[in-house]
């Protein structure tokens, strides 16, 4: 419970960012504690962070060798099976693994002459500010004397884009952190009245470029924090309206439950982990379903959600199949216009067999049958087909004993057919 009598609210930059992007997505992720699918880029980033943590943590003046740093990376990589790494294919995973090793080797080469032990690495802080239970993770903190610190954030993605809010959040959390002065006193024997950020550094590992940012002014931080508190009030009030857009929804793992896409807005009841708590770091890693009250969702609702998921998948595949069939038909028509001779054509990627298939058609079915009968050739021309026999069984003028005997010779197999039609997009 916070000093103002309100419940403490779990808060972090990731949570705030997700709520501002789509409150409904935030609800699924952080209120309902639903899992997100593993993402390859998060896994890759975590593996690099883990190797850099191994490199810098500890007190020994001797740093690990580049081989040891790469082994730490591989140890992390192999700690999770391929199915949980989030890559689309084994080839993509292999490529990213090799890319990670090469990236670390280059990082080591560029920085080895200036290696310096960090004051803290990969440190998670969790403490209360203004009724919020704030969680923040720092990749690296260096103490620079006089209560000043440098915070480093290792970036492993394609670009270095960061919103000012992320910088402000780092600063607010670092300067309000009650643990930092204690840690400095404990480890360095220095008592500082307050902590101030000197600078923040974004280190782009793929290019080994450094981006320094100066400390923001107190007025900027106050404005940022007032806005953050307003967002927290919205979270508390449970205003979880969906905010659909192409960019928001494209990678959303909760579409099947989202009202915009025909879902109920409720999460399905799922297994909880033994603690019932979320695990992993904010915004990355595997996360677990939280506790739901018993009976909150009926079995029928669960079944309905799963049916919707299956039907949506059928619809998506049917749509793709139609597009592919249409394109194949057009391509076959264009190939036919080239008047090529039958045979095999090798494209390098494919070997295509070109042939000619012809079939007879008639627009005078009755006349054809009459002619066959006139020459007593009808029985010879009609081959045994199941649909012909079934039609015979359904005829009212056949002997009853024939129908019974024939039924004993046949087997009826049921196959569910599903026809899906695309709905118009939501307004």
Q: Collapsing DSSP states into helix, strand and coil, what is residue 123?
A: strand
**Minimum gap (Å) between residue 21 Cβ and ligand SF4:** 7
Q: Which residue has the tokens 């079944």?
A: 303
Angle 135-24-236 (CA atoms, 0-180°, nearest 5)? 55
Is 134 within 8 Å of 12 (Cβ atoms)? yes
For ligand SF4, which is the closer residue by CB, 2 or 249? 249
- What is the CB neighbour count within 10 angstroms for residue 365? 8
Q: Could you please report the per-residue DSSP string of 185-199?
A: HHHH----S--EEEE
The pairing of strands 196-204 and 148-155 is parallel
x-marked contacts with ligand SF4 along 185-224 as a string, rule CB under 6 A = ----------------------------------------
Here's the x/- map for ligand SF4, 146-165, by CB under 6 A: it reads as --------------------
Pick from 25, 96, 97, 140: which binds ligand SF4 (CB under 6 A)?
A: 25
The smaller minimum CB distance to ligand SF4, of residues 206 and 244, is found at 244
Q: How far is the CB of 250 from ligand SF4 (least distance, A)?
A: 9
- Kindly indicate which of the ranges 104-112, 243-251, 304-312, 360-368 contains the residues binding ligand SF4, using the contact rule CB under 6 A: 243-251
Strand, helix or coil for residue 10 = strand
Shortest approach of ligand SF4 to residue 249 CB, angstroms? Answer: 3
Tokens of 178: 């009650």
Q: Given the complex with ligand SF4, which of 11 and 28 has the nearer CB atom?
A: 28
What gap in Å lies between CA 197 and CA 212, rounded to an integer?
12
Residue 252 touches ligand SF4, criterion: CB under 6 A: yes
Site for ligand SF4 in 256-315 (CB under 6 A): 258, 260-261
DSSP sequence for 388-403? HHHHHHT-TTS-HHHH
CB of 255 to ligand SF4, least distance (A): 4
Please count the residues of this chain forming the interface with ligand SF4, following the rule CB under 6 A: 14
Nearest to 309 by CA among 363, 372, 229, 255: 255
Nearer to ligand SF4 by Cβ, of 160 and 308: the residue is: 308
C-alpha 249/C-alpha 261 separation (Å) is 10
Residue 259 CB, nearest distance to ligand SF4 (Å)?
Answer: 7
Binding site for ligand SF4 (CB under 6 A): 22, 24-25, 242-244, 248-249, 252, 254-255, 258, 260-261
């Amino acid at each position: 419970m916070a000093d103002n009598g309100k419940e403490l609210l779990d808060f972090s930059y990731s949570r705030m960012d997700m709520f501002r992007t789509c409150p409904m997505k935030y609800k699924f992720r952080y209120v309902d504690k639903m899992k997100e699918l593993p993402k390859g880029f998060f896994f890759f980033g975590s593996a690099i962070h883990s190797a850099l943590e191994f490199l810098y943590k500890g007190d020994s003046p001797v740093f690990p060798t580049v081989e040891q740093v790469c082994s730490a990376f591989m140890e992390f990589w192999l700690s999770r099976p391929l199915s949980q790494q989030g890559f689309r294919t084994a080839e993509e995973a292999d490529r990213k693994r090799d890319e990670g090793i090469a990236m670390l080797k280059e990082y080591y080469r560029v920085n080895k002459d200036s290696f310096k032990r960090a004051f803290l690495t990969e440190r998670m802080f969790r403490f209360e500010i203004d009724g919020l239970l704030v969680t923040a993770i720092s990749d690296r903190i260096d103490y620079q004397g006089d209560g000043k610190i440098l915070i480093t954030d290792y970036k492993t993605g394609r670009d270095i884009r960061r919103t000012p809010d992320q910088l402000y959040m780092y600063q607010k959390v670092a300067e309000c952190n009650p643990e930092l002065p204690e840690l400095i006193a404990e480890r360095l024997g220095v008592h500082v009245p307050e902590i101030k950020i000197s600078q923040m550094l974004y280190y782009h590992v793929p290019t080994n470029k450094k981006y320094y940012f100066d400390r923001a002014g107190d007025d900027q931080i106050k404005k940022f924090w007032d806005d953050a508190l307003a967002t927290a009030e919205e979270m508390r009030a449970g205003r979880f309206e969906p905010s659909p857009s192409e960019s928001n929804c494209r990678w959303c793992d909760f579409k099947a439950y989202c009202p915009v896409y025909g879902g109920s807005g409720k999460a399905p009841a799922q297994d909880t982990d033994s603690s019932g708590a979320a695990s992993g770091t904010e915004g990355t890693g595997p996360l677990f379903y939280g506790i739901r009250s018993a009976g909150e969702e009926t079995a029928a609702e669960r079944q309905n959600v799963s049916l919707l998921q299956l039907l949506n998948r059928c619809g998506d595949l049917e749509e793709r199949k139609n597009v592919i069939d249409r394109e194949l038909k057009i391509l076959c028509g264009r190939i036919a216009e080239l008047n090529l001779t039958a045979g095999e054509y090798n494209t390098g990627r494919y070997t295509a067999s070109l042939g000619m298939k012809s079939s007879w058609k008639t627009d005078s079915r009755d006349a054809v049958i009459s002619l066959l009968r006139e020459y007593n050739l009808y029985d010879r021309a009609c081959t045994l087909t199941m649909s012909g026999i079934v039609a015979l069984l359904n005829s009212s003028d056949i002997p009853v004993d024939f129908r019974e005997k024939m039924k004993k010779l046949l087997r009826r197999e049921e196959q569910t057919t599903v026809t899906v039609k695309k709905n118009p997009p939501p307004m």
